[in-house]
Structure 1
Amino acid sequence: MARRGENIYKRKDGRWEGRYIKGRQKNGKIHYGYIYGYKYTEVKHQLILVKYEKQTSNSKDLLPYEGHLTDWTNYWLDTFVRPKVKSSTYASYKNKMEVHVLSTIGSIKLQKLKQSDVDTLLKKMDETLKASSIRSIFSVLKNCLSKAISLNLLSENPCIGVELPKTRRKTVQALSVKDQARLVKEVNSSQKFFSIMLALQTGLRIGEICGLKWEDIDFDNNTLGVNRTVLRIQTEDNAGRKTEIVEVTPKSNNSQRKIPITNALKENLLELQKTSTSEYVISNKHKALEPRTIAYRFQIIRKKIGLEKFSFHSLRHTFATRCLEAGGNIATISSLLGHSSTKMTLDCYTNSFFTEERQLMEKLEFV
């Protein structure tokens, strides 16, 4: 079913589809663009805006640019991204573009890039990557091309209107009380596994544990401050690609936080401090221990006691789950974890509420 003269059609999947002319090929054949939505009025409104923007952009010529997508991406990264973001963010953007995008469509000239090229890229990534990873890579590409538009190197972003794969909500992998007890018994045998206990009792991320310094711990007030994180990022030198350890501020303002510690954890920290020769709580002599070393130590323990399905990040989930079971409210737990919002906490731990839901239903009586 179509609305006469408007190029708006009702699709079989229930959505409305609006069509507009994006341009013409060399042979004169029309090249169409599409807009989708579940409401007719929404599609019509967007179609009007697109046609107006198209007319406006066509009224001025693009600046001449013969570079390929790879050329533009490298310029964008070095000129607009590197000066404004953390080194870890820059490395992440660069890796996403080089490994997943430029290896497939980087040889296409920037001003020849089409939506069909982006569709081809997404299909290829869909063969090996999760939907969440694809969306993250796509976001970087879209931002890269948006900057080209603002500089009048592109008239429109070929990422607009592309259909992305749907993400599935992650299920939380937390240790049961029984498995946690087995783990605690095993790691208490050596101080080199103290990072595992620290994660279980504070919910710190692995990089936050690596970046924890003695100056961050207030033994008088029983608090622990999260002020930095340690991670390994990709870098480049004359010999080629390599990686290095960097220390950066936490990922967000909420991640920089204070966490109360129990008396038992305080005593364990004081005991560890007696033999420490480093400014870092978890260290290799004088230097901070890197995340993959801590992850490797946990891997040894989990294999030994049959907990292979759990990652080090599961310890953070376990801490949150124990807090829920102890009656902690979402706002408090969200603050302890350093989440950006309580919604994020709810999305992560919905399944952990099942015990509480059962207890609630058992209290209800229906006549």
Structure 2
Amino acid sequence: MAQYADPKKKRHKVYRQFPTVTLAREWLEGEELLVRAYKRGTADWTHPRERDARERARGVLFMDWADEWMDKWGRFKPKSAREPLAPATLRRKRLLLHRVKQVFGMRALEEISVADVNRWLDTCGLDATPKREAYIMLRAIMRCAVQPPDGRPALLDRSPCMAPIPRRVLSDKSLMVEVSAADAARIKSFMPAYTAVSVNVLLAFGLRIGELCALRVDDFDFDRMVVHIRHSIRRGPDDTGELRLAELKTVGSMDALPIPPQLVPVLREHIDRFTDAPRPGAMLLRPAKSRVMSDRTLRTQLEKAAARAGRPDVTPHAFRATAISRIIHEGGEIKDAQLFARHTDPLVTVRFYERTRGEQTRRELSELAYGSMFTAPRSRLELEHEYERAQRELARWADRCRSLHTLLERDTTGVSANG
């Protein structure tokens, strides 16, 4: 039995058993050199047990440790009591893990250097967002190798992921165009008859395309004038292409939205012509050759119709952005737009969907805000500008009154006012 005092914990002893005295003395001589270096401050000292564990861990392949990390920690939500990730999120995370393993999989953990990781960041060829997410995952894997959450000895002395996380790239949603009334009418005219109502529904409720494809006729309550958004389109568990209805990911996404009265006759006409109502569970969009409308098929139809209408820049999600933005432009508060969009975080509504009304409107708002604080006498030029602004507001409201009066006249004569 060979032993010596622990240099970090004076009251503890370090023990090791050997078959011969000679081996015990050789081991003590080697340990004495390590303890002296530690006391001089030239090297750190670790317990022989930890050194032995690291030696046994040498040669562990990245792919083996990455798979263990995913199985034990990666497939659960962060800061949760073992709550699993949503299926779609987990599929995306496994894809990112596959991409990282393609690069580092067959290499031992200790062989992966800082230069290797930096070289991969510079030359991986991934788009900005997947590269950022893959690097975040790689950092998490290496951090767990340095400090395993299950208490085992460390597999690495330090992580090779020293580079900062790439900055988040501004989403394309922030650059998304809006759809005008004229554009919407033209796009609808180029849609197939059995899916033309999609343009009206997207603009009325600000739906995601998967939510639109999952709408059933029973979701529309014309007595209470609300539509229930409960489901979205999901692919098979292995992305087999099989379509199914699945509950929305967040409780905030499951909501009842008010139906605009102008949309009711459009919906009723579509339901009578193109659905299996009153059969229970009849889908709002009934495809010709399957039970559920494919989101990919509907997306292709909308993109082709937008291109034929002269607006190839309009994507299906642009209709959702337009609907949310119009809530604010028509006088709604950010909270109103958040509830309409069914966002759990209002920052998402502000960052991606709120659109400005132009430089002239911002200038007028700035003048009004400043004028409310300082009431100094106004010059003739300022009065002229304010008069012109009031005239424009008056003309806008006069046009609105005339259009409403026209709709009322049509309604009293028995002509449907579809809007």
TM-score (normalised: structure 2):
0.63
Structure 2 counterpart of 1:95, which letter? L
Superposed, which structure 2 residues align to 1:184-263 within 5 Å?
A: 186=189, 190-232=193-235, 235=238, 242-263=240-261
Cα 1:220/1:357, change in 2 over 3 Å:
same
> What is the alpha-carbon distance in structure 1 between the residues aligned to residue 364 and residue 236 of structure 2?
46
Deviations 1:274-329 (A, max 9, x none): 34136322232552212111110011101101111121111111111221221111
> What is the alpha-carbon distance in structure 2 between the residues aligned to residue 311 and residue 91 of structure 1?
25
Structure 2 counterpart of 1:203, which letter? G
Cα 1:156/1:201, change in 2 over 3 Å:
farther
- Give 2:165's aligned residue: 164
Tell me if 1:337 matches 2:338. no
Cα 1:97/1:264, change in 2 over 3 Å:
same
> What is the alpha-carbon distance in structure 2 between the residues aligned to residue 58 and residue 204 of structure 1?
61
- Give 2:311's aligned residue: 307
Deviates more, 1:255-264 or 1:136-145: 136-145
Contact 1:70/1:107 (<8 A) preserved: yes
Contact 1:231/1:291 (<8 A) preserved: no
Q: CA deviation at 1:85?
A: 2.5
Q: Equivalent of 1:267, from 242, 265, 268?
A: 265
> What is the alpha-carbon distance in structure 1 between the residues aligned to residue 122 and residue 294 of structure 2?
36
Q: CA deviation at 1:216?
A: 2.6
Name whichever structure is richer in helix by fraction: 2
Percent sequence identity is: 19
Gaps of 5+ in 2: 1-43, 77-82, 377-419
The 3-state SS of whatever aligns with 1:224 is strand
Alpha carbon RMSD of aligned pairs, Å? 3.3
Q: CA deviation at 1:337?
A: 1.0
Superposed, which structure 2 residues align to 1:1-367 within 5 Å?
A: 60=50, 61-62=53-54, 64=57, 66-78=59-71, 81=75, 84-98=84-98, 100-125=99-124, 127-130=125-128, 132-146=129-143, 148=145, 149-151=148-150, 152=152, 154-155=155-156, 158=159, 161-170=162-171, 171-183=174-186, 186=189, 190-232=193-235, 235=238, 242-274=240-272, 275-277=274-276, 279-285=282-288, 287-349=291-353, 351-354=355-358, 356-363=361-368, 364-365=370-371
Structure 1 or 2, whichever has the larger Rg, is: 2
- Give 2:6's aligned residue: none
Cα 1:143/1:222, change in 2 over 3 Å:
farther
Contact 1:113/1:158 (<8 A) preserved: no
> What is the alpha-carbon distance in structure 2 between the residues aligned to residue 218 and residue 69 of structure 1?
55
Cα 1:341/1:360, change in 2 over 3 Å:
same
> What is the alpha-carbon distance in structure 2 between the residues aligned to residue 301 and residue 247 of structure 1?
26
Deviations 1:209-264 (A, max 9, x none): 1222233322221112222221336728xxxxx54435433232322222111122
Contact 2:202/2:212 (<8 A) preserved: yes
Structure 2 counterpart of 1:124, which letter? T
Q: CA deviation at 1:71?
A: 2.9
> What is the alpha-carbon distance in structure 2 between the residues aligned to residue 217 and residue 65 of structure 1?
62
Q: CA deviation at 1:155?
A: 4.4
Structure 1 counterpart of 2:268, which letter? L
TM-score (normalised: structure 1):
0.71
> What is the alpha-carbon distance in structure 1 between the residues aligned to residue 233 and residue 250 of structure 2?
14
Cα 1:346/1:70, change in 2 over 3 Å:
same
> What is the alpha-carbon distance in structure 2 between the residues aligned to residue 69 and residue 297 of structure 1?
44
